[in-house]
Amino acid sequence: MFGKAHSRSFIVGAALVLGLFAGSLAYATIPDSSGMIHGCYKLNQGTLRVIDTGKGEGCLNSEAAISWTQTGLQGPQGPTGPTGAKGDKGDRGDPGQPGAGTPIGAVIAYAGSVAPSGWLVAEGSVGRPVRP
């Protein structure tokens, strides 16, 4: 019976240790809330180590603090690309609304006797109806 209790205690202890380890990984704040990654550069060796400022970590006196973002800054806009190939002809549009037309009795004046093809040209005095 002592052996089973000992095994059970070991399993509970191992689960507790794994839970704490997993919790510490989930708590890491790299990058920080603004997307910044912080690190320390060892001046005399050229080595870099990433730190978690959310946990109070900092650089040593022999290190220079540096930080950067994952995405970086946006670069300048590139040059305009070449014109693309001509596209396919589009579908026919919906018909437009009918126009107001010419009101009945209106006089349309043309210089001389020139009128659009298919129009009837009548002569008469303004203000007096033209009778056929």
The series of mean pLDDT values per 10 residues for the chain, 132 residues long, is: 55 55 57 89 92 93 90 88 93 85 58 56 53 56
pLDDT of residue 84: 93
CB 62 within 8 A of CB 49: no
Give the pLDDT score at 51. Answer: 96
Extract the tokens encoding 95. 């018909």
What pLDDT does residue 52 have? Answer: 94
pLDDT for the residue numbered 119:
60
Determine the length of the chain.
132
Instruction: Give me the pLDDT at residue 25, please.
Output: 47
Nearest to 126 by CA among 106, 101, 102: 106
Task: Give me the pLDDT at residue 23, please.
Answer: 47
Number of H helices, E strands in the chain: 1, 3
